[in-house]
């Protein structure tokens, strides 16, 4: 089996940390490890994470930011440590489990059977036979942001912001995280832009051949999201900044 490390960024998640779901995922896949990053939480998140991790030994690790640095920084901290291991795949997953952890095996399977792929990203596409439950306003604002990102990336990506992503553990993927992520909530777009740029500058096949979007079977907006409507307006500006800094010659 392939060893997988999933980074879970956490900020004030004590009230909705689903211990049973994370425990079930570890039981279902003996080669799975979680790196929880407590991003300066002000509640009992760290206490709950450490209580969960302690009896599970090296299959769970808690990494602590003493001050809140934002989701992008928490993801970067955890993934830099994950990429430094001998894991086959390293990814990140939202702590609220809007995408259930039983979606993860299909991400692993896709990378396992497609050696040319470096990145599998969740995609919240509402199709018959799937249960994708999203707040309508957030959905439509998100679609506008995703369309702009797709145009600027010159990549037919449907959903850049889904909080479920899995990378192949290679030096090229680790390089995406060498520099701090500067684009706030749309750091996912920044990561994809770096992948597009690095493959272009390295004379490699296009990023479209390295990324696979995984249509999720289930997704449900969870109460307590830290994304507000005004964040979408800032996101449009941040996406333009990502394009200017990363992709424009």
User: 0.85 exceeded by the pTM?
Assistant: yes
Among 3.60.60.10, 3.90.550.10, 3.40.50.1110, 3.40.50.300, name the CATH number for the domain at 4-247: 3.90.550.10
Is there a contact between 91 and 4 (Cβ–Cβ < 8 Å)? yes
Per-residue pLDDT of the chain (249 residues; tens, 9 = 90+): 789 999 999 999 999 999 999 999 999 999 999 999 999 999 999 999 999 999 999 999 999 999 999 999 999 999 999 999 999 999 999 999 999 999 999 999 999 999 999 999 999 988 899 999 887 777 667 777 778 888 888 899 999 989 999 999 999 999 999 999 988 888 999 999 999 999 999 999 999 999 999 999 999 988 765 566 566 667 777 777 877 778 775
Residue 183 has a pLDDT of 85
pLDDT at 191: 96
Q: What is the pLDDT of residue 231?
A: 66
What gap in Å lies between CA 1 and CA 126, rounded to an integer?
Answer: 31
pLDDT at 246: 80
Q: Where are the domains of the chain?
A: 4-247
Per-residue confidence (pLDDT) for residue 224, from 0 to 100: 60
What distance in Å separates the CA atoms of residue 23 and residue 111, rounded to the nearest whole number?
Answer: 24
Residue 225 has a pLDDT of 58
Phi first, then psi: give them for residue 154, nearest 5 degrees.
55, 45
The CA distances from residue 67 to 5, 31, 39, 46, 158, in Å, are: 24, 31, 7, 12, 34
> How far, in Å, are 48, 77, 187, 225 from residue 74 at the CA level?
18, 5, 11, 16
| CA 188 to chain centroid | 7
- pLDDT for residue 227: 60
């Amino acid at each position: 089996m392939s060893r997988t490390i999933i980074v879970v960024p956490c900020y004030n998640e004590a009230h909705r940390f689903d211990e049973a779901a994370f425990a079930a995922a570890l039981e279902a896949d003996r080669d799975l490890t979680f790196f929880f990053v407590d991003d300066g939480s002000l509640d009992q998140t760290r206490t709950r994470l450490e209580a969960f991790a302690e009896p599970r030994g090296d299959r769970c690790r808690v990494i602590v930011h003493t001050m809140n640095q934002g989701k992008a920084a928490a993801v970067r901290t955890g993934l830099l440590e994950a990429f430094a291991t001998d894991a086959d795949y390293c990814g990140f997953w939202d702590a609220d489990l809007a995408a259930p952890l039983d979606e993860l095996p299909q991400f692993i399977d896709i990378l396992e059977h497609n050696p040319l792929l470096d990145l599998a990203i969740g995609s919240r596409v509402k199709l018959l036979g799937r249960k994708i439950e999203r707040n309508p306003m957030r959905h439509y604002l998100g679609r506008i942001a995703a369309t702009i990102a797709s145009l600027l990336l010159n990549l037919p990506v449907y959903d850049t912001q889904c909080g479920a992503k899995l990378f192949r553990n290679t030096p090229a993927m680790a390089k995406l995280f060498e520099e701090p992520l500067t684009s706030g909530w749309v750091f996912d777009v920044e990561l994809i832009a770096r992948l597009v740029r690095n493959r272009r500058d390295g004379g490699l096949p296009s990023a479209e051949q390295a990324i696979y979007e995984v249509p999720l079977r289930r997704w449900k907006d969870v109460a307590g999201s830290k994304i507000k409507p005004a964040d979408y307006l800032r996101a449009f500006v941040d996406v333009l900044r990502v394009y200017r800094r990363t992709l424009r010659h």
